[in-house]
Amino acid sequence: MSASYAVHGPVAVITLDNPPVNGLGYGTRRGVADGLARAQDDPAVRALVITGAGRAFSGGADIREFDSPQAMREPNLLSLILAIEASSKPVVAAVHTVCMGGGLELALGCHYRVAAPGCKVGLPEVKIGLIPGAGGTQRLPRVLGVETALNMILGGEPVASEVLAKLPGQRLFDRLIDGDLLAGALAFAAEVADQRPLPLVRRLAASHPNPDAYFQFARNTAAAMAKQFPAPRKCIDMVAASLELPFDEAMRLEWSTFTALMLTPESRALRHVFMAERAAGKIADVPADTPVRSVKRLAVIGAGTMGGGIAMNFLNAGLPVVMLETKQEALDRGVATIRGNYDAQVKKGKLKAELAEQRLGLLSTTLDYADLADADMVIEAVFEDLGVKEQVFRRLDEVMKPGAILASNTSTLDLNRIAAFTQRPQDVIGTHFFSPANVMKLLEVVRGEQTAKDVLATVMQLGKKIRKTCVVSGVCDGFIGNRMVEQYLRQAFLLVDEGSTPQQVDKAIERFGFAMGPFRMSDLAGNDIGWAIRKRRYAERPHMQYSKTPDLLCEKGRFGQKTGAGWYDYQAGKRDAIPSPVVLELIEGHRRTLGITPRKIGDDEIVERLVYALVNEGAHLLEEGIAAKASDIDMVYLTGYGFPLHRGGPMRHADEVGLFNVVRAMRRFQRNPLDDATFWEPAPLLARLATDGTTFG
Ligand code: NAD
């Protein structure tokens, strides 16, 4: 049982005890129900307190029970709350630290609530595509007012207890208790022990002076901001129901809405992402208690596009950074860019000027490797050239103190070779940031053959500290993300040869939900980058069929936004992609040269070819052990490549479509004379799972 029972004088105390956050799993619910029953039967007990052990009152549902029948096992949360309401003796919730989701719903079912200041209070269900399902949408508006409650339910973000306790007219907290919460709660319970009738939130009325206009406004906002997700609209409907329907009827509607949302692909995708995010931090052979090295001072080599952004991450986290370059001008340029970024944030009101200065104060620069000697970790972000990396790593090996971590931001080079330039390959690791490095969430942590476990654990922890989503990748050309995107782009280019236009391809995949189609993305990243990679591929894979159209584009100097022209035209200073007659002419001319009669390609085919190209390469990565879990690949694509969140990532999307159907589509693409049949040969893992009728998940 994950709840304890104790009697303190006239008050029984039920303490939720299910680490880490007292999730309301079956054992916890059972424990509370038993405690309630005991207290009813004990004549010496005149009131009850429910509180939480350790670091939370309760974080809500136990995620280990997600999607299992155990979540509904009686007493389920709804029955438990009814039992609390029905208690003949007053029940006081004593909340502290974290009171979220089902935890808050449980507290709202109690007769009284007292809170410690600094407690995070919220209903985050919307973040996993749900509405609160145990009365949250009905009780919160009754204690906080419709607008505050709806804002909290729609936003899903916690609000501090002391902020809520100060709201005029609030009925959420009966008392804020500074100091010893349990002592305060016991005193409060004794005070109210004889109060009758017992107050119930369900008996309060929810009201709003102008409900029609208000809910219309809320619906319009939700429609604009959360198009792909049904849950926000349902949250609004349910809060509106708190005004319109009798309590029990609204509760039945809340329950049926909640269970219907549970089955939507959007909620299942968001739940998948929730779990995937947590799973990404777990590495099978690196236990959670692996000791980590202390990283308090960093060094960054190279003050270019990536070096500057990388440095900012650490400055923002309050860690001093020394940046090294070969020339003073390069340092000056790099520092000016960093300063410019901070100034822009200050101008937009996103950052206080003093804080920007404080962060800049943590940055120092040098031309001398001797100044790196006291850094605990160095990240190299110099030119992508093995010779240059060799020079840098040999120097680092000489100057860095023993135990320092040596990281490379290389995107394509072999990390094992880089590690071999040093006498300490166990201390070398890849940290593959994405551009702009101070903004993008994704960090691929590249594990070399000899990277030590504590180095890996340290970098994963540091990544969290700078608020990145860290995903471990093995060593290969392109790591997880770029190796997959290459296959995706290859399809995009072939689609254009066969009859699509760049706009059509972009629109189709953007309608599917991608933030940006492949052609707009290439124009943003620079078409010359892909060109350089393809030149290598032509030599490595002479038999593979590639579209030459992107090369013709590059030969015309159309590198994308930076040159004002790429797959699209751009006006000076603007980022809007304008369809280009020149590009259309180039595409048509090339088709004539190849003797291709263009065909009309449907949006479905475009989406399937682009996405299944990702999925098949993802399956290869899993098979080769470059990616450890399918959900890691999903996290890479969601956080680094704008894959639609409501689909949960490419691998999860394939599972949703059904791997059998994915393979069938690939077999169909194998018959396309303008593509390679070998390209569409399902990866053995994919073929096996499809045959077995199972999933990547
Ligand atoms: P960049 O050209 O903008 O910057 C490189 C900087 O390194 C320059 O300022 C240069 O002066 C400096 N430099 C070169 N040789 C040096 C040396 N021996 N010692 C010290 N400084 C030296 O390049 P970038 O785009 O910032 O890329 C840096 C690294 O990051 C590369 O390995 C690249 O593959 C990788 N990367 C780039 C991106 C991206 O989108 N640009 C994304 C991920 C990874």
Confidence band (pLDDT; 50, 70, 90) for 278?
Answer: very high
Q: Ligand 1 mean position to 377 CA, how many Å?
A: 18
3-state secondary structure 215-229: HHHHHHHHHHHCCCC
pLDDT at 476 over 90: yes
Do 341 and 302 have their domain in common?
Answer: yes
pLDDT at 127 over 90: yes
**Does ligand 1 lie within 6 Å of residue 388's CB atom?**
yes
Whether 427 and 404 have beta carbons less than 8 Å apart is answered as yes
Whether 57 and 96 have beta carbons less than 8 Å apart is answered as yes
Q: How far apart are CA 102 and CA 594, in angstroms?
A: 62
Which pLDDT value is given to residue 446? 98
Which pLDDT value is given to residue 356? 97
410 found inside a domain:
yes
- CA-closest residue to ligand 1 atom 12: 302
Q: Which of 235, 261, 287 is the last residue of a domain?
A: 261
- The CATH number covering residue 412 comes to 3.40.50.720
Confidence band (pLDDT; 50, 70, 90) for 226?
Answer: confident
Give the helix ranges, DSSP H, for 158-210.
161-165, 181-192
Confidence band (pLDDT; 50, 70, 90) for 542?
Answer: confident
| 105 noted as active-site residue | yes
Q: Taking each helix axis from N to C terminus, what angle separates 603-624 and 502-512, rounded to the nearest 10 degrees?
A: 70
Phi, psi dihedrals of residue 508, rounded to the nearest 5°: -60, -45
Do 447 and 561 have their domain in common?
Answer: no
Confidence band (pLDDT; 50, 70, 90) for 69?
Answer: confident
Nearest to 341 by CA among 312, 320, 319: 312
388 found inside a domain:
yes
Do 438 and 417 have their domain in common?
Answer: yes
* Lowest model confidence (mean pLDDT) among 172-181, 374-383, 524-533, 627-636: 524-533
**Does ligand 1 lie within 6 Å of residue 328's CB atom?**
no
**Does ligand 1 lie within 6 Å of residue 390's CB atom?**
no
Which pLDDT value is given to residue 545? 87
For 346-384, write each residue's pLDDT tens digit. Answer: 999 999 999 999 999 999 999 999 999 999 999 999 999
More confident residue, 542 or 30: 30
Counting the structural domains of the chain, the total is: 3
Q: Which residue has the tokens 């404080």?
A: 358
> What is the average pLDDT across 565-584?
95
Do 382 and 456 have their domain in common?
Answer: yes
DSSP state of 527: H
- The CATH number covering residue 502 comes to 1.10.1040.50
Task: Report angle CA 504, 507, 508 to the nearest 5 degrees.
Answer: 85
Do 607 and 687 have their domain in common?
Answer: yes
Q: 105, 254, 325, 498: which one is catalytic? A: 105
Which pLDDT value is given to residue 71? 84
| 147 noted as active-site residue | no
Which pLDDT value is given to residue 693? 95
Q: Ligand 1 mean position to 188 CA, how many Å?
A: 62
Candidate from 306, 338, 393 with most ligand 1 atoms within 8 A of CB, to mutate: 306
> What is the average pLDDT across 60-87?
90
**H/E segment holding residue 99:** strand 98-100
Q: Ligand 1 mean position to 385 CA, how many Å?
A: 9
Which pLDDT value is given to residue 72? 85
Which pLDDT value is given to residue 338? 97
More confident residue, 545 or 35: 35
270: left (phi over 0), alpha (psi -120 to 50) or beta: alpha
Task: Report angle CA 379, 400, 408 to the nearest 5 degrees.
Answer: 20
List, in order, residues 6 or more apart from 679 with CB less than 8 Å away. Answer: 487, 490, 544, 545, 613
Q: Which of 207, 236, 261 is the last residue of a domain?
A: 261
Do 447 and 526 have their domain in common?
Answer: no
Q: How far apart are CA 659 and CA 655, in angstroms?
A: 6
Q: Which residue has the tokens 């902020």?
A: 163
Do 507 and 419 have their domain in common?
Answer: no
Confidence band (pLDDT; 50, 70, 90) for 510?
Answer: very high
pLDDT at 500 over 80: yes
- CA-closest residue to ligand 1 atom 9: 304
Amino acid at the residue 604: D
Residue 61: which domain range?
3-261
Do 448 and 549 have their domain in common?
Answer: no
Which pLDDT value is given to residue 35? 98
Do 186 and 213 have their domain in common?
Answer: yes
Do 569 and 508 have their domain in common?
Answer: yes
412 found inside a domain:
yes
Do 407 and 311 have their domain in common?
Answer: yes
> What is the average pLDDT across 129-156?
97
Beta carbons within 10 angstroms of residue 40's beta carbon:
16
Confidence band (pLDDT; 50, 70, 90) for 308?
Answer: very high
Confidence band (pLDDT; 50, 70, 90) for 227?
Answer: confident
Give bridge partners of residue 322 from the DSSP assignment: 299, 364
Do 256 and 364 have their domain in common?
Answer: no
Confidence band (pLDDT; 50, 70, 90) for 452?
Answer: very high
Which pLDDT value is given to residue 143? 98
For 642-672, write each residue's pLDDT tens digit. Answer: 999 999 999 999 999 999 999 999 999 999 9
641 found inside a domain:
no
Confidence band (pLDDT; 50, 70, 90) for 64?
Answer: confident
- The CATH number covering residue 173 comes to 3.90.226.10
Nearest to 437 by CA among 562, 586, 314, 564: 314
**Does ligand 1 lie within 6 Å of residue 65's CB atom?**
no
- CA-closest residue to ligand 1 atom 14: 382
% of the chain at pLDDT higher than 70: 100
Which pLDDT value is given to residue 690? 97
For 393-426, write each residue's pLDDT tens digit. Answer: 999 999 999 999 999 999 999 999 999 999 999 9
37 found inside a domain:
yes
pLDDT at 66 over 80: no
154 found inside a domain:
yes
Measured CA distances, 185 to 172, 513, 542 (Å): 15, 49, 75
Q: Which of 448, 473, 498 is the last residue of a domain?
A: 473
Whether 257 and 237 have beta carbons less than 8 Å apart is answered as yes
468 found inside a domain:
yes
**Does ligand 1 lie within 6 Å of residue 16's CB atom?**
no
Q: Ligand 1 mean position to 383 CA, how many Å?
A: 4
684 found inside a domain:
yes
Which pLDDT value is given to residue 671? 96
Confidence band (pLDDT; 50, 70, 90) for 573?
Answer: confident
Q: How far apart are CA 58 and CA 78, in angstroms?
A: 16
> What is the average pLDDT across 18-40?
96
Give the helix ranges, DSSP H, for 263-411.
265-280, 305-316, 328-347, 353-361, 386-399
Q: How far apart are CA 201 and CA 110, in angstroms?
A: 8
> What is the average pLDDT across 328-338?
97
The chain-wide mean pLDDT, for the chain, equals 96
Nearest to 275 by CA among 631, 674, 672: 631
Q: How far apart are CA 399 and CA 369, in angstroms?
A: 7
Q: Ligand 1 mean position to 410 CA, how many Å?
A: 9
